[in-house]
Chain A
Amino acid sequence: MWETLAQAVINGLLIGGIYALVSIGVTLIFGVVKIVNFAQGEFVMIGMYISFFLATQFGIDPLVSLVVSMPVLFLAGVVIQHFLIRRVLGPNDMPQIFLTFALSLLLLNLSLMLFSANYRTVHTSYSDSAWHIGGLYIPVAKLIAFAVAMALSGLLWVFLRTTDLGRAMRAASQNRDVAMLMGINPNRVFAVAFGTALALAGAAGSLLMPFYSAYPFVGQVFVLMAFVAVVMGTLGNVMGALVASLMMGIAESLGIQFVGADSGLIVVFGLLLLTLAFRPSGLGARRGR
């Protein structure tokens, strides 16, 4: 019994690491730029395709291709922020919602056209291997993905805490108007935030590639969990999104294991509703607010 339980927790934790990379991106953009990026999942998909093509054309390991997918998506983020998002920032939310939603549909259909609906898989030496410890097993590819995801989250944390730009981003996310009054250049901060968020999505894509198939709709699978984690971990709170993502992963895994294989999402959304009922601002909200 404990073995099954432990295995379920391990499974959930490992996939939770990937949810975390996606949800941290969403929450970062929401916190700083104050828009909801519906296209976040599509950037995960792009990250996967970058890794896929680097692996099949040049034989580059998907994990190594992280150094390509992250900068490429960071640049894409800066460009999108500069030429698209910046134009619709204003008092009205509607254009922003439609912009990112349109971006999502555009990227999805573009990739359908360019890459077709086929599933693309990369095989690495570690793709199907696992470590067996006692009665438990830990898939190598997922463990690496989890470790890198946690390392990247940690790096982001350090960046937000210790650098001027990071502090400026945190300031902007706490109170944008006051931050602007303090002399923070909003365009620069927004561009970096958007680029960083997309780079994280790209990282998630590259990390997924050794054990998951790439196809145009793949982003949608992950973005749903990411949105739940973002709301549960308090909108705009990076640490909250990270913790909530790991919790979601574990809840989903336990749900499948002990309730029923089609109830993973039931457990996840049940947990979300419970959280919101008792802590309406999410788990990461500061007390007294």
Chain B
Amino acid sequence: MTGDRKPPAINNAAPNQASRTKLNRRKFLAKTGGVLAAGAFGAVPLRGWAADAINIGALYPTTGSMAQIGTGCVAAAKLAVDMVNEAGGIKSLGGAKLNLIVSDVQSDTTVTRTETDRLITGNKLSAIHGCYASALTLIASEVCERAHVPIITGSSSDQLNKGRSYTFTPFARASQFAKAQLQMAKLVSEQAKVAVIFENTAFGTSTSNGLKELAPGEGVEIVMFEPYSAGFTDASPLINKVKASGANTLFSLSYLNDLILIVRTVKQVGLDIAINGGSGGFVMPDFYKNVGKAAEGLQGVAHWNHDVNEDAQKVNAEFRKRTGEFAFEYAGGLVAQTFMLADALERAASADPKKVREALSTLDVSSGYAAMAPGGKVKFGPDGKNVYGRPVGVQWQNADLASIFPKEDARAPLMKT
């Protein structure tokens, strides 16, 4: 994948010519701000950051249990790089093209650590994006911090904004998702009575506690709060309990397979209840394929949706042409992230990862593909969090995801079920 990089000029030119080139370059670099001095890289600048393609690392699980979303992310990353390159690349670097280097982290935290390390040491990277799954991104982010390579990610874990300076999160955080979900419950009924069911490991427990803490402040009553063991064979007993609780909205913090079973069982029971399936697998095209018509009217939250603005719709059309599916939240978010990187590279006029980090930290966009996010603006705070970031409430309507919340981002009315 890195084979197309030119070897140092020193090695394949005539000796005296080479030393002259070297001297000239050194002088040039020293004058333009001393990229050379920027790190302990020594002769690295000689390899010619300026004219060569700019390497962007992409860490995604394309095999293993998270492969499905990971593969979609890679497709989106390729689309994004093509879009930047077709638009003329990075102009301040002489129209340098972005070069995507994809690495499979195999849905595994240990592999993520070694692959991130390998990617950074084996290639001259300007920035990295990945890994979509928070558990993996946390690890990759640690490695990037130590290696001083900026990482930009759609992962929502609030942990990514703690004590890090090379990690950038342009989209809504997990803590914001809970609040949005509670507010959406009030769209259904002013007297929101919510049943919260959650799988009893880290993901479900932490998210449900967030909901419980925020509920009183949002004027939402939680009438049932029930952990369950993931991977059950039958959702009927659980739904039987939800029915008895008298709730009018159901929050299900579940892995995909459980959620499919829960939704189907609710329909079988004939229970009249609004379901909010949260984010993750719920807002993926595959969910609708599995649940079918029963998914119509189900609500969820996402950090990006393909109807947020016209640019997003263009990206969606192109992504659909390439993959046959609509651009899911991570896919669309990734295109925006790539354009944020392009914006930073443009302003940094350098492929040095440290300069790219500097430029990212002063990013401030409100138009174009880089600003294609709920809220429409991106500017990073000192914690790497987009100060304008907010989640968007979505609903399955006619086999597609429509943005319905908040008012500013709503592109379709709430479908009553």
**A and B: partners?**
yes
Question: Hey, which bits of chain A sit against chain B, CB under 8 A?
Answer: 4, 7-8, 11-12, 14-15, 18-19, 116-121, 123, 127-130, 132, 137, 139, 211-213, 215, 221-222, 225, 252-254, 256-257, 260-262, 264-265
A213 touches B257 (CB 8 A): yes
16 CB-based A-B contacts, threshold 8 Å: A11-B240, A15-B234, A117-B64, A117-B66, A119-B290, A123-B292, A128-B267, A130-B268, A213-B261, A221-B232, A221-B233, A253-B237, A254-B237, A256-B241, A261-B227, A262-B227
| Interface residue B383 (Cβ < 8 Å from any Cβ of A) | no
How far apart are A144's CB and chain B's nearest CB, in angstroms?
Answer: 13
Partner of B270, one of A8, A130, A222: A130
Residue of B236, B238, B265, B294 ringed by the most chain A CB atoms within 10 A = B236
In the docked arrangement, what's the CA distance between A8 and B238, Å?
Answer: 10
Q: List the A residue with the shortest CB-CB distance to B227.
A: A262
In the docked arrangement, what's the CA distance between A15 and B237, Å?
Answer: 11
State whether A213 and B238 are in contact (beta carbons under 8 Å apart), knowing that A119-B290, A139-B268, A261-B228 are contacts in the complex: no
In the docked arrangement, what's the CA distance between A262 and B236, Å?
Answer: 14
A116 touches B67 (CB 8 A): yes
Q: Which residues of A contact B265 (CB under 8 A)?
A: 139
In the docked arrangement, what's the CA distance between A221 and B234, Å?
Answer: 11
How far apart are A162's CB and chain B's nearest CB, in angstroms?
Answer: 33
B231 touches A212 (CB 8 A): no
B238 touches A261 (CB 8 A): yes
Q: Which residues of B contact A15 (CB under 8 A)?
A: 233-234, 236
Q: Which residues of B contact A212 (CB under 8 A)?
A: 233, 261
State whether A119 and B256 are in contact (beta carbons under 8 Å apart), knowing that A4-B244, A213-B290, A221-B233 are contacts in the complex: yes
| Interface residue B415 (Cβ < 8 Å from any Cβ of A) | no
In the docked arrangement, what's the CA distance between A261 and B265, Å?
Answer: 15
Q: Which residues of B contact A121 (CB under 8 A)?
A: 260, 289-292
Q: Which residues of B contact A132 (CB under 8 A)?
A: 270
State whether A128 and B268 are in contact (beta carbons under 8 Å apart), knowing that A139-B236, A261-B227 are contacts in the complex: yes
In the docked arrangement, what's the CA distance between A116 and B240, Å?
Answer: 33
A118 touches B68 (CB 8 A): yes
A128 touches B68 (CB 8 A): no
How far apart are B244's CB and chain A's nearest CB, in angstroms?
Answer: 6
Question: Hey, which bits of chain B sit against chain A, CB under 8 A?
Answer: 64-68, 197, 200, 226-229, 231-234, 236-238, 240-241, 244, 256-257, 260-261, 264-265, 267-270, 286, 289-292, 294
State whether A261 and B241 are in contact (beta carbons under 8 Å apart), knowing that A119-B257, A130-B268, A130-B270 are contacts in the complex: yes
How far apart are A213's CB and chain B's nearest CB, in angstroms?
Answer: 5
Q: Which residues of A contact B64 (CB under 8 A)?
A: 117
Question: Other than the known A4-B244, A119-B286, A261-B238, what 16 A-B pairs have Cβ atoms closer than 8 Å?
Answer: A118-B68, A127-B264, A128-B267, A128-B294, A137-B269, A139-B268, A221-B233, A252-B237, A253-B236, A256-B237, A256-B241, A257-B237, A261-B227, A261-B241, A262-B200, A264-B237
A7 touches B256 (CB 8 A): no
Q: Which residues of A contact B268 (CB under 8 A)?
A: 128-130, 137, 139
B233 touches A4 (CB 8 A): no
In the docked arrangement, what's the CA distance between A213 and B256, Å?
Answer: 10
In the docked arrangement, what's the CA distance between A253 and B233, Å?
Answer: 10
A261 touches B290 (CB 8 A): no
Partner of A18, one of B232, B233, B257, B289: B233
Q: List the A residue with the shortest CB-CB distance to B234.
A: A15
Residue of A129, A254, A262 ringed by the most chain B CB atoms within 10 A = A262
Q: List the B residue with the shortest CB-CB distance to A15.
A: B234
Partner of A8, one of B237, B257, B260: B237
Which 7 residue pairs of A and B lie closest in terms of their CB atoms, listed nearest first? A261-B228, A256-B237, A11-B236, A130-B268, A121-B290, A15-B234, A262-B200
In the docked arrangement, what's the CA distance between A212 and B66, Å?
Answer: 20
